């Protein structure tokens, strides 16, 4: 299920923000686009809106951002609202202002829809969920091969950690099945045995924020392969951080 609270997009009405709004809407989220936080406050008070996530264009909102966000959350009752910074990769000063304001997630141009979906899901998830994860996780958008018995299927690697992965595919294997997955990383091709933890398909969309596919847990991952995955995940996570 998508959040019933809208996603706020703040920035000048330029091509980047216009495209961002369309992409958020295409993922099924309700969306409000405003030029400034002050305008968003006025709208929120008028229509009794509180926001689930704010996507903030940098550098236009970086000046005194901490105080502005604190005031915004207080006035709109959006106390648990998390923020995603967007735009071109910013200066060190703007990054510092964002971090001081508590903004840690980013979508620097260009980015694929997989990253947008992943970052929105991260912003919507309860903060304690990430603390409970045993391994750092990051989004990817690369082809993968699934071997289930004698059958070979194509899939797309949606997210990855050293503990497991989520594979985007319209034909996932059954929950509990043992399969093999292969995909390329910068350090070379990875091949791993896995067990399917759950599937996400029409009629069984238990994870409405995820694309159709399946979550898998790696089995007996070797030390070198685990290190290669962790390195790629850390690099990708850094790209999507302030």
pTM comes to 0.89
Q: How far is CA 154 from CA 112, 177, 182, in A?
A: 20, 17, 10
pLDDT of residue 98: 93
What would the mean pLDDT of 24-43 be, rounded to a whole number?
A: 93
pLDDT of residue 24: 96
92-100 and 65-76 are packed helices; what angle lies between their axes, rounded to 10 degrees?
A: 30
- What is the CATH code of the structural domain delimited by 7-130? 3.40.50.2300
pLDDT at 12: 87
CB 1 within 8 A of CB 208: yes
| pLDDT tens figures, 111-168 | 999 999 999 999 998 765 665 577 999 999 999 999 998 899 999 999 999 999 999 9
Q: Give the strand order in the sheet containing 82-87.
A: 31-34, 7-10, 53-57, 82-87, 105-108
What CA–CA distance (Å, rounded) separates 192 from 39?
Answer: 50
Q: Which CATH architecture group holds 138-239?
A: Beta Barrel (2.40)
Question: Which residues belong to CATH 3.40.50.2300 in the chain?
Answer: 7-130
Q: State the span(s) of the chain assigned CATH 2.40.10.220.
A: 138-239
Where is pLDDT greater, at 151 or 205? 151
Which two three-digit tokens encode residue 221? 């991952």
Q: Annotate 111-135 with DSSP letters as a single string.
A: --HHHHHHHHHHHHS-HHHHHH-SS
Per-residue pLDDT at 1 exceeds 50: no
The pLDDT value recorded for residue 136 is: 94
Contact (Cβ atoms closer than 8 angstroms) between residue 45 and residue 38: no
Q: How much is the pLDDT for 206?
A: 61
Beta carbons of 86 and 107 less than 8 angstroms apart: yes
Q: How far apart are CA 171 and CA 199, in angstroms?
A: 9
Asked whether the predicted pLDDT for residue 189 surpasses 60, the reply is yes
List all residues 6 or more positions away from 153 whose beta carbon is below 8 Å from its beta carbon: 145, 146, 147, 169, 171
């Amino acid at each position: 299920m998508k959040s019933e609270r809208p996603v706020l997009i703040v920035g000048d009405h330029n091509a980047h923000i216009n495209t961002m709004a369309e992409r958020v809407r295409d993922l099924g989220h309700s969306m409000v686009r405003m030029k400034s936080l002050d305008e968003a406050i006025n709208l929120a008070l008028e229509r009794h809106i509180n926001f689930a996530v704010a996507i903030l264009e940098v550098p236009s909102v970086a000046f005194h951002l901490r105080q502005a966000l604190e005031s915004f959350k207080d006035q709109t009752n959006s106390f648990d609202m998390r923020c995603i910074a967007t735009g071109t990769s910013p200066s060190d000063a703007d990054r510092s202002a964002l971090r001081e304001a508590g903004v840690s997630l980013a979508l620097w141009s260009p980015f694929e829809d997989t990253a947008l979906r992943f970052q929105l899901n991260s912003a919507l998830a309860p903060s304690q969920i990430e603390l409970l994860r045993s391994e750092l996780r990051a989004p990817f958008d690369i082809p993968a091969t699934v071997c289930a018995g004698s059958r070979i299927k194509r899939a797309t690697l949606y997210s990855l950690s050293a503990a497991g992965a989520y594979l985007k595919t319209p034909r996932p294997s059954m929950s509990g099945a043992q399969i093999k997955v292969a995909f390329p990383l910068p350090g070379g091709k990875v091949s791993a045995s896995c067990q399917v933890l759950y599937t996400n398909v029409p009629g069984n969309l238990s994870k409405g924020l995820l694309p159709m596919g399946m979550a898998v847990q790696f089995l007996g991952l070797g030390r070198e392969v685990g290190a290669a995955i962790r390195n790629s995940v850390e690099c990708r996570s850094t790209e999507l951080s302030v």
